[in-house]
Amino acid sequence: MESTVSKRWLLARLYEPELTIVDCRFTLGQPQAGRASYEQEHIPGAVYLDLELDLSGLVEEHGGRHPLPDPQAFAARLAKLGIGDDSRIVAYDDESGMNAARLWWLLRYLGHEQVYILEGGFSAWKAEKFPVTDHQPVRVPSSFQPNVQTQMLVDVDKVRQVSAETGLANPPSSALPILIDSRARERYLGLEESLDKKAGHIPGAFNFFWKDTQNADGSYKSAEELQEHFSKLDKDAEIIVYCGSGVTACPNVLALERAGFNNVRLYPGSWSDWISYEENAVATGEE
């Protein structure tokens, strides 16, 4: 099954007992806005997970703006919401899927494969006049046993090594890992930076803006379209994806996998972690 589901697919299964719907709406800079939107209206049966309180750990000197949550603590949070080992989860947001993709990645990182993203998000759901409610469901706690997939991520030391080896190899060499920067072009080039203390990108990284993997309606492009989008990358290469803080890289991970790349890993600390080390080099402009 694909990693995304359509609105009509979800509508047809809205009240299946093994299904858990998770509202992941969150607005950067307005940390209360997502929960307020959820409390006002949401898809029936949905529970809420907050990007910074639930889908991230505590911010420290290193690790980036949205470090990964502790696996055991996150598993306990899921279990409290009634999400168990056999649950099928559908996540949505209203931010082009970036927060839902974070939950999608996190659950797979904990070894849970039955997780999907709602194509188009909440606004598209509501535009179809599908049901919404302000009722918050009562959930029976479950049991969630994490099976952490450490191979899905890399740390800063690995990224330093890849950056040094990659240099200015253009086009990317299949013999070397490939760094992908998922941020908007202006941030990659170092022309603007509103979120982090330094502008630019990790030396050797190539820019593939995460939103370019989607259609205008918020759905993901087809496998064939994504293969064309990533056509200059070798499918046998190790792909390491980053963004500003490890959130918007997740839609790119999903898109790469949909395009047939099987060795895709996340640098969760991303740019905000990279620049927390003064010794790390910063590149600007085109590679």
Rounded CA separation 227/215 (Å): 15
pLDDT for the residue 28 = 87
Is position 287 within any domain? Answer: no
pLDDT for the residue 287 = 75
Is position 162 within any domain? Answer: yes
Whether 24 is catalytic: no
In this structure, are residues 55 and 104 in contact, taking their beta carbons and an 8 Å threshold? no
pLDDT for the residue 96 = 93
φ, ψ dihedrals at 244, nearest 5°: -80, -45
Is position 283 within any domain? Answer: no
Q: Which of 148, 168, 186 is the C-terminal boundary of a domain?
A: 148
Same-domain pairing of 127 and 184: no
The residue type found at 194 is S
Is position 284 within any domain? Answer: no
Is position 285 within any domain? Answer: no
Same-domain pairing of 189 and 98: no
Name the domain count of the chain: 2
Same-domain pairing of 174 and 123: no
> 108: which 2 tokens?
């797979």
Q: Which of 127, 148, 169 is the C-terminal boundary of a domain?
A: 148
Same-domain pairing of 143 and 186: no
In this structure, are residues 237 and 263 in contact, taking their beta carbons and an 8 Å threshold? yes
Q: Which of 112, 132, 148 is the C-terminal boundary of a domain?
A: 148
Same-domain pairing of 110 and 81: yes
Same-domain pairing of 267 and 250: yes
Question: One of 243, 255, 259, 266 is an active-site residue; which one?
Answer: 243
Low-confidence stretches of the chain (pLDDT beneath 70): 1, 167-175
Whichever domain contains 88, its CATH number is 3.40.250.10
Same-domain pairing of 163 and 105: no
Same-domain pairing of 202 and 261: yes
Phi-psi region of 64 (alpha: psi -120 to 50; beta: other; left: phi over 0): left
Is position 78 within any domain? Answer: yes
Same-domain pairing of 125 and 168: no
pLDDT for the residue 168 = 46
Same-domain pairing of 9 and 137: yes
Q: What is the span of the domain harbouring residue 103?
A: 4-148
pTM metric for this prediction: 0.95
Same-domain pairing of 108 and 220: no
Is position 257 within any domain? Answer: yes
Same-domain pairing of 128 and 239: no
Is position 282 within any domain? Answer: no
